[in-house]
Structure 1
Amino acid sequence: MTMNPYQELLQIAKSAALNAGSSIMDIYDSGDFDSFSKADDSPVTTADYKANEIITEHLKLHSPDIPIMSEESKHESLEIRKNWSRYWLIDPIDGTQEFIARSGDFAINIALIENNEPAIGVIYWPVGETLYFASKGHGAFKESPKEDKQIFVRQLADPESGEVLVAISRRQPKDRVMSRMTKERIYSTIPLGSCSLKSCFIAEGKADVFLRIGITGEWDTGAPQCIVSEAGGKILSAEFEPLTYNRRKSLLNPDFVVLGDQRVDWEQIVLYNLVSKDE
């Protein structure tokens, strides 16, 4: 097996995620946190800020030469960012609404972006004590109290007609997604919270596709993209174009789709372009 050039940085990211996860679980269990609304009306809590502080301090200590971009920190201008050959990309708590609602479906996302592509992805699900991680060219893995293993997307027994498992949001109407799926297939739906956990379900073969409609940032897809890609899947824009990182002034993503089995003709299943986006 070839030596992993990302091994040291991967361990740094894993440790940062675990440290932050331990702290926010204390907050989650106590219920002692405050909630606020950001400018875009999305929620943020004191737990998000605490996780951000722990992660950024850990990364600065152990990789001081690598810039950091976090959802919950001030963002540098593109004029500065375009000179970064690599940087850490963080979502301290993905699924803040789930944290507040106490569903347990929230996670910590840490990615290393190198040459505008995810090279390391770490996602920690604190409630399940489960760590998903990957590095470019070296596979995707899951560590939990119940299992430690390399993970792969699910291979449909019949890619052309087999039942498709669709991961959907707990917070969006089911029809908003299912109306964009062809009527020619049979589906089962799996409701989950955070974007990253739905992506991990696809990476470990528990779901086949996830269509995200709505506002997200690059920090929502950096870590999942690395993990899903290394497990054999893809994350693309909902128009089936590659996602971009650190190439635009805006850090917002287009709507995107997470795809499992690559033998499936997903462009014939996810009919995103045939439905009005203003529905």
Structure 2
Amino acid sequence: MPYEFLLSVAKSAAKKAGEAVLEIYDSGEYEAYAKSDESPVTSADYKANEIIMAILQKQTPEIPIMSEEIEHCALADRADWERYWLIDPIDGTQEFIARSGDFAVNIALIEHNQPKIGVIYWPAGESLYYAIGGQGAFKESAIESKQIHVKKFSDPDLEPIVIAISRRQKRENVLKRLDTERTYQTLPAGSCSLKACFIAEGKADFFMRLGITGEWDTGASQCIVSEAGGSIVDKDFAPMSYNERESLENPNFMVLGDQAVDWQKLVNYYAI
């Protein structure tokens, strides 16, 4: 199947799911639960998952699906998947519950263990971010449709770094791991994927995620950020990988903007 067709399927699924989630969000009529790991999930997550699964199964029945909200098969049963859909029906469920509006629908196509297509829909912001590997990253909104790029520094060694940071994250936990000689500004934001999108479109330069996430939290983001000129790496600056371990849990990771910045010199992840 052509990538353009698969992208159109993912975009349609993300928007339809996002519109349903926004309707539930606006009504305030949903149920909230705690998973076994104590992370939150809502009836809106399940509704979005149902919509996305139905569209993907109808349009691409031969492609397996991995979602945060369905039971995951063992590595032995999925290790030979050449390509599969990786979805997070609502990235930022805590933001949904807190009513910040900073939640998004994530859909990625993983091919040979790396993201090939990424789609992120931000319902409250009426914005759709997407990319196909090797074809650039783009944003569609009510105002415009355009290709997006990370912010390029005139002086990568001196200009202030804009850090995307969660409203519930302590700023000091990030700053203590960064070069104290540099100047920093912060941009409060919600879900992991939206922080990544803000870096992809040049609103921020850096994001450090400390805490538990799953592969579905980064699949779509990685494709979009990479095509915009940035990268997503683990705490040791190694590339992220997909469907190569029994556990689907991500390591702590960083989203990096302009690659002209010496990020390895700037970041000391292990600082106390």
> Structure 1, residues 216-266: CA drift from partner, whole Å, max 9, x if none?
000000000000000000000021011110000000000000000000000
Which residue of structure 1 aligns with residue 169 of structure 2?
172
**TM-score with structure 1 setting the length:** 0.96
Q: Which of 195, 200, 205 is residue 203 of structure 1 equivalent to?
A: 200
- In the TM superposition, what are the counterparts of 1:35-114 in structure 2 within 5 Å? 35-114=32-111
Q: Which amino acid in the other structure matches residue 236 of structure 1?
A: V
Query: Are 2:258 and 1:258 equivalent residues in the alignment?
Result: no
Distance 1:42 1:177 in 2: 22
Corresponding residue SS for 1:23: helix
Residue segments in structure 1 that go unaligned for 5+ positions in a row: none
Q: Which of 213, 216, 219 is residue 216 of structure 2 equivalent to?
A: 219
Distance 1:157 1:5 in 2: 38
Which residue of structure 1 aligns with residue 231 of structure 2?
234
Q: Which amino acid in the other structure matches residue 268 of structure 1?
A: K
The alpha-carbon deviation at position 176 of structure 1 amounts to 1.1
Which residue of structure 2 aligns with residue 7 of structure 1?
4
Which residue of structure 2 aligns with residue 268 of structure 1?
265
Q: Which of 116, 119, 125 is residue 116 of structure 2 equivalent to?
A: 119
Query: Are 2:225 and 1:243 equivalent residues in the alignment?
Result: no
The alpha-carbon deviation at position 193 of structure 1 amounts to 0.6
The alpha-carbon deviation at position 107 of structure 1 amounts to 0.2
> Structure 1, residues 154-189: CA drift from partner, whole Å, max 9, x if none?
001210111100001112111111111110100000
The alpha-carbon deviation at position 5 of structure 1 amounts to 3.9
Corresponding residue SS for 2:207: strand
Distance 1:233 1:207 in 2: 11
Distance 1:8 1:132 in 2: 16
Distance 1:262 1:249 in 2: 31
Distance 2:159 2:235 in 1: 22
The alpha-carbon deviation at position 270 of structure 1 amounts to 1.4
Residue segments in structure 2 that go unaligned for 5+ positions in a row: none
Corresponding residue SS for 2:89: strand
Which residue of structure 1 aligns with residue 18 of structure 2?
21
Distance 1:99 1:227 in 2: 23
> Structure 1, residues 43-62: CA drift from partner, whole Å, max 9, x if none?
00000000000001100000
Question: Hey, which bits of structure 1, 4+ residues long, moved more than 6 A?
Answer: none
Corresponding residue SS for 1:91: strand
Which residue of structure 2 aligns with residue 186 of structure 1?
183
Distance 2:219 2:125 in 1: 21
Distance 1:184 1:73 in 2: 46
Q: Which amino acid in the other structure matches residue 161 of structure 2?
A: V
Distance 1:149 1:261 in 2: 19
The count of corresponding residues between Structure 1 and Structure 2 is 272
Relative to structure 2, which stretch is displaced further, 167-176 or 82-91? 167-176
Corresponding residue SS for 2:15: helix
Distance 2:93 2:267 in 1: 27
Q: Which amino acid in the other structure matches residue 16 of structure 2?
A: N
Which residue of structure 2 aligns with residue 149 of structure 1?
146
RMSD (Å), alpha carbons: 0.9
Relative to structure 2, which stretch is displaced further, 98-107 or 4-13? 4-13
